[in-house]
């Protein structure tokens, strides 16, 4: 038979933690700082703790103190022995307390017959797929695209074609959304409207750039050319 030798597997040599070994217990592996624990006055009670354990068979007493008044230790003292080899110390940054706070609640109501989108937290969020009215012009209407867009779905003029058509703002296919606000700004001030538009190109050329017109109530429609016309080479 061939030559056979026996090999005894060795235990892997791992550096363990020991008293005085803190300088080697970090990712760098040397010149490590002393163990630290961050805490501030706003942490929940009992969120930070550290453990004290026996490094040998000799019992000892310990105390836990803080150099600032707003940190408390619990327990503040203890006894480590072979029968009780570990003790967990909780560091609390803010003791439990009760206080009185005043909250202002605005109880707003809309007319019973209103159907549409309602202001909440100072804004109105509108889903494109839920219009109040959808007006067809020249056989073209805004059509729902399920699952497309930032929320629920998107809308697009449909059917395709009609490249020869060039609607003046306010005369083309329109989609309307009824909404109700509680802040009138006393008929003054600014109201910002944010729309999410899918990436498009000015496929009709620089003389007919794509635009969207937005009108609120009886105000003048405002045009937004979301794909700016640029000079070639710039």
| Max CA separation in the chain (angstroms) | 104
Q: How high is the pLDDT of residue 227?
A: 82
Mean pLDDT of the chain: 83
Q: Percentage of the chain surpassing pLDDT 70?
A: 88
pLDDT tens by residue, 159-217: 887 777 878 888 889 999 999 988 766 666 678 899 888 877 877 777 888 888 999 98
pLDDT tens by residue, 95-137: 667 778 898 888 888 999 999 999 988 889 999 999 999 999 9
Q: How high is the pLDDT of residue 152?
A: 84
């Amino acid at each position: 038979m061939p030559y056979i030798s026996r090999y005894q597997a060795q235990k892997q040599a791992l550096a363990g933690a020991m008293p005085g070994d803190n300088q080697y217990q970090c990712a760098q592996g040397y010149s490590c700082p002393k163990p630290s624990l961050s805490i501030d006055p706003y942490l929940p009670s009992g969120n930070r703790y550290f453990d004290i354990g026996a490094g040998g068979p000799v019992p000892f007493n310990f105390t836990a103190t803080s150099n600032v008044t707003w940190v408390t230790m619990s327990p503040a003292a203890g006894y480590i022995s072979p029968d009780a080899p570990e003790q967990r110390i909780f560091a609390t940054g803010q003791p439990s307390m009760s206080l009185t706070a005043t909250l202002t609640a605005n109880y707003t109501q809309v007319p019973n017959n209103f159907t549409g989108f309602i202001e909440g937290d100072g804004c109105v969020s509108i889903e494109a797929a839920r219009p109040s009215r959808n007006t067809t012009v020249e056989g073209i209407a805004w059509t729902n695209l399920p699952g497309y867009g930032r929320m629920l779905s998107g809308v697009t003029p449909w059917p395709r074609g009609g490249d020869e058509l060039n609607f003046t703002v306010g005369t083309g296919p329109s989609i309307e959304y009824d909404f109700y606000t509680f802040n009138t700004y006393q008929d003054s001030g600014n109201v910002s409207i944010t729309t999410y538009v899918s990436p498009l190109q000015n496929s009709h050329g620089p003389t007919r750039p794509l635009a969207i017109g937005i009108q609120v109530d009886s105000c003048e429609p405002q045009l937004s050319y979301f794909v700016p016309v640029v000079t070639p080479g710039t």
